[in-house]
Amino acid sequence: MVDLLRGVAVGELGRHELQERRVARAGSPDSASSGGPTGSPLAGRQVGQPSEGDVRTGSHVDLPRQDERSSVAGDRSATGSHADMGSRADPPSSGGFSVPHAPAAPDVPTRRTRSQPGISKPQIRTDGTVRYDKLKPRFGGLITTGEPHNLQEALNDTNWKRAMNDEYDALIKNKTWHLVPPIKNKNIIDCRWVYRIKRKADGQIDRYKARLVAKGFKQRYGIDYEDTFSPVVKAATIRLVLSVAVSNGWSLRQLDVQNAFLHGVLEEEVYMKQPPGYEVKDKYHYVCKLDKALYGLKQAPRAWYSRLSDKLQKLGFRPSQADTSLLFYKKGKIIIFMLVYVDDIIVASSSQDAVSALLEYLKRDFALKDLGDLHYFLGIEVKKVTDGIVLSQEKYVSDILKRSGMMSCKVSDMPLSTTEKLSKEEGEPLGAEAATNYRSVVGALQYLTLTRPDICFPVNKVCQFLHAPTLQHWTAVKRILRYLIGTMSTGLKF
């Protein structure tokens, strides 16, 4: 920048000196007897000598001949040049004015970013977003969900400490393991605590749940486990049983088995480290030899279902051939249907007394909790009306919309366009993160079809492009979400 200003100053000085010499030459007698006609713009100018206008603009009208270029170049090299952003004038030499050359490009400073010298400026968000590391010291790690992220946070909270104590006492009472000295050449798996807040249908906190989970991914097939399959009830079976129960005026009860997987008996030898925070002081180096199943083990679901199924079959129940998670009992006028989904059970019966007797019998072997009339099952809200029941997933829809950021979008009247056809060739492919979000939202919509047959067809269409979603497919998914905003309370009536 300094060089540029210096060039401008020198150029201005040269122009003033040149103007003074021109005025002096015009007043001398030699100027009147020059070769050109009087008044002509080229009068008194030698070949290669610029006119007044040429001096201002830095350009020539007459160029020197071939034999004069060498002398002109010599004059130019002798006199030098000063740039003024396209306005240049060289001082005259003894043989006339030299040919001005093209202006030199100004020196542009090299651009330098803040990251090169290591300067960083924190981003200031204006949309209300708060960084995680700013919240953690303030709220002690209980962020968003209110669930602790490590053992120390849970031990410092009275609610979670109480939940852990209840879980540990239940494991000891159930005789899940016994301590043995470590055995060589035996696979010893680890365990950890998992924390969840159980909420009601309206979102309020129901209870704090702490669960000890074994790290079953360290098990070895054929040594620590074999069969792992455990059947779960189908959605179509749930709708069918509920329809039969409502049509006949039967009672619908909901049961919950506490620590369901702990009731399964293991057939393999499985060794596990002691629970973190509950190690026995005088047997700190001992390990747990599992006698019963534990959450996280690969064979735990199979062991639990086998024991429950054997117990019910001894009472006269029989598994359905179409869905093994449906067990039914029929004797005289008494009919009982039992739907099993891991530890959640629905009982539909034609006799209230028969259900009460069944519960008393099962409580002898299992920690069974009677939740009363069916009201909330697997994210499905069951509401009683005068002439039946209504199944809806309003809270589930609300969670999907909040997770995808579509809660305040414009409502759509139709879940799918009648003119647009989805194709795998059209649209810009989504990035890796956007594609993962696409699959997550579509998977959630699939479960929503359990009570929303009106979106079965559009959800089926967007499911066909899970392998390679594009922007066009994501637009179709957002249209389904905008349709759900206006139909959140819609459901099935039986």
Q: What is the pLDDT along the chain (494 residues), one digit of tens a residue?
A: 445 445 544 455 556 565 666 655 555 444 444 444 444 443 444 444 444 444 444 444 444 444 444 444 444 444 444 444 444 444 444 444 444 555 555 565 666 776 666 666 666 666 555 554 444 444 444 344 578 888 888 888 888 988 888 888 888 888 888 899 988 888 888 888 989 888 776 777 888 888 888 887 766 666 556 666 667 778 888 888 888 888 888 888 888 887 777 778 787 788 888 988 888 888 888 999 888 888 888 777 888 888 888 888 988 899 888 888 889 999 888 899 998 887 788 899 988 888 888 888 888 888 788 888 888 888 888 888 888 888 888 889 998 998 888 888 899 999 988 888 888 888 888 888 889 999 999 999 999 998 898 999 999 999 999 998 999 999 999 999 999 998 888 888 88
**In this structure, what are the phi and psi dihedrals at residue 292, rounded to the nearest 5 degrees?**
-130, 165
Taking the C-alpha atoms of residue 485 and residue 435, their distance in angstroms, rounded to an integer, is 23
Query: What pTM value is reported for the model?
Result: 0.56
Helix (H) or strand (E) holding 208: strand 205-214
Contact 154, 166 (CB under 8 A): no
Identify the residue whose tokens are 């399959």. Answer: 229
| Strand runs labelled E in 300-452 | 318-319, 326-331, 334-341, 344-349, 368-373, 376-377, 380-385, 388-392
Taking the C-alpha atoms of residue 287 and residue 268, their distance in angstroms, rounded to an integer, is 16
Taking the C-alpha atoms of residue 57 and residue 477, their distance in angstroms, rounded to an integer, is 65
Taking the C-alpha atoms of residue 373 and residue 444, their distance in angstroms, rounded to an integer, is 27
Maximum Cα interatomic distance, the chain, rounded to a whole number of Å: 144
Which residues, other chains included, contact 287 with Cβ-Cβ below 8 Å and sequence gap of 6+?
179, 180, 181, 182, 183, 188, 271, 272, 273, 274
Identify the residue whose tokens are 């270029």. Answer: 69
Where does 86-157 have alpha helices with state H?
A: 132-139, 151-155
Checking DSSP bridges between strand 287-290 and strand 318-319, what pairing results, if any?
unpaired
Among 488, 465, 490, smallest CA distance to 409 is for 488
Taking the C-alpha atoms of residue 455 and residue 483, their distance in angstroms, rounded to an integer, is 9
3-class DSSP assignment, residue 384 = strand
